[in-house]
Chains A and B, each alone.
Chain A
Amino acid sequence: MSEIERESMEFDVVIVGAGPAGLAAAIRSKQVNPELSVVVLEKGGEVGAHILSGAVVDPIGINRLLPGWRDKEGHPFKTEVSDDQFLVLGPNRSVRLPNFAMPPLMNNHGNYIVSLGNVCRWLASHAEALGVEIYPGFAAASLTYNDAGAVTGVITGDMGVKRDGSHGPGFAPGMALLGKYVLIGEGARGSLTKQLIAKYRLDDSREPAKYGIGLKELWQVKPENHKPGLVQHSFGWPLDMKTGGGSFLYHLEDNQVAVGFVVHLNYKNPYLAPFEEFQRFKTHPAIRKTFEGGKRISYGARAITEGGWQSVPKLSFPGGVLMGCAAGLVNLPRIKGSHNAVLSGILAAEHVAEAIAAGRCNDELTSYEAVWRSTDIGKDLKTARNVKPLWSRCGTVIGVAVGGLDMWLNTLFGVSPFGTLKHGKTDAASLEPASKHNKISYPKPDGVLTFDRLSSVFLSNTNHAEDQPVHLQVKDTELQKRSEYAVFAGPASRYCPAGVYEWVDADGNGIADEPGHADARFVINAQNCVHCKTCDIKDPNQNINWVPPQGGEGPVYSNM
């Protein structure tokens, strides 16, 4: 970073990310101490633009943050869950699992089907009413430190930098936002989170972080196919028994249906394409009838944390804390994380406010790290902690069955016969060379029920200025060619849900499936990026580093 004169602003609390965790922390800070100056930075063009989630939300966090919210007009929680179904899919048939066999924590009674983006917009209006300053369109690109090595604030990304790094006509240097404490709510695999974990070794003696990629579409369906309040989860087809993942299908209000697919990123076969698995899933006879005569109105994708209890890093660092999905608080079997995000935001705010009231600043909030496992967040994650390891080791059928049993034992007796299982390798290290696997032949999209990547990315409204440095940094281009292409057959062209990565020959033809070309070139279509972070997670050599592009860019998700 060249030495540019930067303006700076000072606050009590600096929050990165206007997601459920960041906004809950902002609101709670102001509730505890209205005099605090609180700022929230959001890289999306508006609050909610980068929020993507199923979502079935457990209102435990919202109830605690805003008691009495149900009585006021204008909240987005319009559809309560009325019917909960778990299906196992075969290629043509489906079997419904009995609900009574499900452990209590899987029960969705009292939960709501919502657009998490709309929840965030609603939370943002509450935050602004309390005096929180929210700045969408500003990406927190780097951190500032004091001489003691503690975090003192963030610097927003420079705007108007040209692709070669020189300053364009619209150049505006980023500003430094300094705070007594910095709360990080970037979501799964955040870029600042990654830097903090590395610098302060927050993952020492923790299990490696594990992720999945979640792809989602929003459909407008015919009224006769619409059953508001229906929640359907499935696993099995089209994934094989060795690949973790499953689907969700939620009926919201206004004839909208949210459908999505999660693929666990510890898959081994580099020919697997999560996007194609999602498209293929929709063609199942039990699923496709919902979408007959319907219209797809939105698409998006995002990585989702799956490591749970044993992978959560140390959450406090000198000068701040991690919250929400940056901390990795998603409960995998429940497929819910926003409730823990809100609870962690509340917890962080309370500890920060207490520290500031005691006259402290830029030190470590050790109390937050010490206490979270005994709160509702910890209880929620502890019960489900062995599901992912069992699924990964035993395959889908046995893994889910034993995992369910393990959750029952934890619920009833508070212990598990397995103790706390380990996760094994990282997702990147789990990928095996292409020589060990066969290509998967996916059906062509029909344009009515199934689609291609580019027309899907179109619906995410994603947009980036062309002339800016590529925000997907390949550290070693030679390594990418001799390993990612030659050994793994270019998996980036398959796991990326937005068609960012391609391996092409001299004529521009796609050659990821043919590892022998000497003239292979790695093309990065950075403007398609939907900020899902999967490449940062799954590149087998960890050779791709995702950094935020200019603020205000990326997807513009509506009602997602």
Chain B
Amino acid sequence: MKVLVPIKRVVDFNVKIRVKADGSGVDLANVKMAMNPFDEIAVEEAIRLREAGKAKEIIVVSVGPQQAQETLRTALAMGADRAILVKTDERTEPLGVAKVLKGVVDAEKPGLVLLGKQAIDDDSNQTGQMLAALLGWAQGTCASKVGTTGDRPRSRAKSTAACRQLSSRCRRSSR
């Protein structure tokens, strides 16, 4: 089974961001960028699936500027097999990214798409859900554990807990 993992280049989680003096946006000049931490978890999970023999190939994809190449290279260094950059200098938003990812899914035909819960710059938590809807695929959100039955992926999430408790469980247990 091929696994597709979309990743996003965001401001490093340690950096304290500031608003530009003219108020037009966040000051990103010479600020350290890195892979979104939730996407790192997704890449790590894909690698574990491959090591367990459940996945054959891991493809990472990023929709972003030229420098997102560095983020893709980090994923390759972590163990991904192939990387795709969809280059754009526009500001990306979940629906647009989901539509682009649909195109990638149609071309690559993976059996599973693993996404980070949310990007730490916009905190949207929307791209995965929108992608599933566009594809007409099943979705498991805020997954704390991922496995397979036969070769069909299965995820488990706590459905009774409040949303915030859910997110913190995802963060702690999706290692």
Complex Cα–Cα for A45 and B34 (A): 9
Q: Which residues of B are found within 8 Å of A220, using beta-carbon distances? A: 21
| Other-chain residue from B21, B29, B32 in contact with A556 (beta carbon distance below 8 A) | B32
Interface of A is mostly: loop
Is residue B100 contacting chain A, with contact meaning CB distance below 8 A?
A: no
B29–A559 touching, CB < 8 Å: yes
Residue of B nearest to A46 (CB): B32
Number of A interface residues at 8 Å Cβ cutoff, please give it: 20
- A559 with B32: CB separation less than 8 A: no
Q: Take A45-B12, A461-B14, A461-B15 as given contacts and tell me if A558 and B21 are in contact as well, using a CB distance cutoff of 8 Å.
A: no
Decide if A49 is an interface residue (CB 8 Å cutoff).
Answer: yes
Task: Judge whether A458 and B16 touch: CB under 8 Å.
Answer: yes
In the assembled complex, A411 has its CB within 8 A of some CB on chain B: no
**CA A559 – CA B27 in complex, angstroms?**
12
The answer to the question of A117 belonging to the interface, with a C-beta cut-off of 8 Å to chain B, is yes
Pick the contact of B32 from A49, A255, A459, A462 — CB < 8 Å? A49
- Are the C-beta atoms of A461 and B16 separated by less than 8 Å? yes
Interface membership of chain A positions 448-487, coded 1 if the CB is closer than 8 angstroms to chain B and 0 otherwise: 0000000000110111000000000000000000000000
Instruction: Name the one of A255, A297, A556, A559 contacting B14, with C-beta atoms under 8 angstroms.
Output: A556
B21 touches A255 (CB 8 A): yes
Residues of A within 8 A of B31 (CB): 558
Give every chain A residue within 8 A of B32 (Cβ-Cβ): 45-46, 49, 461, 556, 558
Q: Does A423 contact B (CB under 8 A)?
A: no
Q: Tell me the residues in window 11-62 of chain B with beta carbons closer than 8 Å to chain A beta carbons.
A: 12, 14-16, 18, 21, 29-32, 34
- B174 CB → nearest A CB, Å: 13
Chain B residues with Cβ below 8 Å from A462 are 14
Contacts of A48 in B (CB 8 A): 30
Distance in angstroms between the alpha carbons of A200 and B121 in the assembled complex: 50
A49 CA / B33 CA spacing, docked (Å): 11
Q: Is the Cβ of A118 less than 8 Å from the Cβ of B30?
A: yes
Report which of A45, A461, A558 forms a contact with B30, defined as CB distance below 8 A. Answer: A558
Given contacts A115-B30, A556-B15, A558-B32, 10 further A-B pairs with CB under 8 A are A45-B12, A49-B32, A118-B30, A121-B30, A220-B21, A459-B16, A462-B14, A556-B14, A558-B15, A558-B31
A-B contact list, 13 entries, CB within 8 Å:
A45-B12, A45-B32, A49-B32, A115-B30, A118-B30, A297-B18, A459-B16, A461-B14, A461-B15, A461-B16, A556-B14, A558-B15, A559-B29
7 closest Cβ contacts across the A-B interface?
A463-B14, A461-B14, A556-B32, A461-B15, A46-B32, A556-B14, A559-B30
